Structure 1
Amino acid sequence: MNNQLTPTQENYLVAVYELEQENRVARVGEIAKALAVGLSSVSSALRILADKGLLNYSPHNFITLTGEGLSLSRRLVARREVMLDFLQKILALPAAVAERNAGLLENTIDEEVYERLLAFVDFIRTCPRTGDEWLADFRNRWVAGKSQDCQSCMEKGLGSLFCKSEVESGKSVAPPLTLADLQAGDLVQVVALRNAGRRLAELGLLPGAVVRVEKFAPLGDPCEISLNGARLTLRREDAVAVAVEPL
Structure 2
Amino acid sequence: MADLSATMEDYLETMYRLEMQRGTVRVKDIAAAMAVKMPSVTSALQTLAEQGVISYTPYRPVEFTAEGRRIARGVYNRHQALCEFLTDILQLDPKTAEGEACRMEHSVGSETLMRLLTLIDFIKRCPRGGDDWLEHLKGRWEQGPCEGDCNSCISAIEIPEKAPFPPPHGDATLITLDKLEPGRRGVIVKLGGRGALRRRIMDMGITPGSDLEVERLAPLGDPMEFKIRGYHLSLRNEEAAKIHVRPTS
What's the TM-score, normalizing by structure 2?
0.71
User: Following the alignment from structure 1 to structure 2, what is the Cα–Cα distance between the partners of residues 212 and 143?
Assistant: 41
Q: Which residue of 2 aligns with 1:155?
A: 155
Q: Deviations over 1:59-113 (max 9, x none)?
A: 1121110111111111111111111111011111111111111111112445565
Q: Do residues 49 (structure 1) and 56 (structure 2) align?
A: no
User: How many Å apart are 1:58 and its aligned residue?
Assistant: 1.6
Structure 1 residues 152 and 163, CA, compared in 2 at 3 Å: closer, same or farther?
farther
Judge conservation of contact 1:118–1:198 (CA < 8 Å) in 2: no
Judge conservation of contact 1:187–1:213 (CA < 8 Å) in 2: no
User: How many Å apart are 1:137 and its aligned residue?
Assistant: 2.4
Structure 1 residues 180 and 152, CA, compared in 2 at 3 Å: closer, same or farther?
farther
Q: Which residue of 2 aligns with 1:238?
A: 243
- SS where residue 74 of structure 1 aligns? helix
- SS where residue 160 of structure 1 aligns? coil
Q: Do residues 88 (structure 1) and 87 (structure 2) align?
A: yes
Q: Deviations over 1:189-247 (max 9, x none)?
A: x6x6645786444324467766344359xxxx98834322444445344042xx6866x
Judge conservation of contact 2:2–2:53 (CA < 8 Å) in 1: no
Q: How many residues align?
A: 231
- SS where residue 101 of structure 2 aligns? helix
Judge conservation of contact 1:125–1:132 (CA < 8 Å) in 2: yes
Note the 1:135-154 alignment, pairs <5 A.
135-143=134-142, 150-154=150-154
Q: Deviations over 1:150-188 (max 9, x none)?
A: 45531244x439767xx9xxxxxxx89996896532357
Note the 1:41-80 alignment, pairs <5 A.
41-80=40-79
Q: Which residue of 1 aligns with 2:184?
A: 186
User: Following the alignment from structure 1 to structure 2, what is the Cα–Cα distance between the partners of residues 134 and 198?
Assistant: 32
Give the unaligned 5+ runs of structure 2: 167-172, 193-197
Identity of aligned residues (%): 31
Q: Which residue of 2 aligns with 1:104?
A: 103
Amino acid at match of 2:46: R
Structure 1 residues 195 and 123, CA, compared in 2 at 3 Å: closer, same or farther?
farther
Q: Which residue of 1 aligns with 2:25?
A: 26
What's the TM-score, normalizing by structure 1?
0.71
Cα-Cα RMSD? 4.1
Structure 1 residues 143 and 239, CA, compared in 2 at 3 Å: closer, same or farther?
farther
Q: Which residue of 1 aligns with 2:195?
A: none
- SS where residue 25 of structure 1 aligns? coil
Give the stretch that moved more between structures: 25-34 or 117-126: 117-126
- SS where residue 61 of structure 2 aligns? coil
Structure 1 residues 222 and 70, CA, compared in 2 at 3 Å: closer, same or farther?
closer
Amino acid at match of 2:39: S
